Amino acid sequence: MKRIKIREGDKSRTITMADAIILQNYKAALQKDQIAMGNIIRLAEESGELIDRTDVKQVGRPALFPIKSKNMEEFLAQFGRKVGE
């Protein structure tokens, strides 16, 4: 990825072009630039930052549900084992 040198105050540093674009949009959004605000919101949505992680409809269910056993014998029986083996 292409890297460019940017200046922040009296310091300069090298960042990727993608980071520079995001940084410019961020700075413009802070100045109430509507297009930049839309770009930042769209980026956050597409990267999954605005997903309600407590909503099963948005994030899905876990691949595996742990089985709750009543006791150790029942737990081991699920694996074909017995207590003391």
DSSP 38-84: HHHHHHHHHTTTT--TT-HHHH---S--PPPPSSHHHHHHTTT--TT
Distance CA 77, CA 13 (A): 61
Listed residue (24, 42, 43) closest to 33, CA to CA: 24
> pLDDT value at position 24?
95
- Is the pLDDT at 65 greater than 70, yes or no? no
Q: pTM of the prediction?
A: 0.57
3-58 per-position pLDDT tens digit: 999 998 899 999 999 999 999 999 999 999 999 999 999 999 998 888 887 887 87
> pLDDT value at position 52?
81
- Is the pLDDT at 71 greater than 80, yes or no? yes
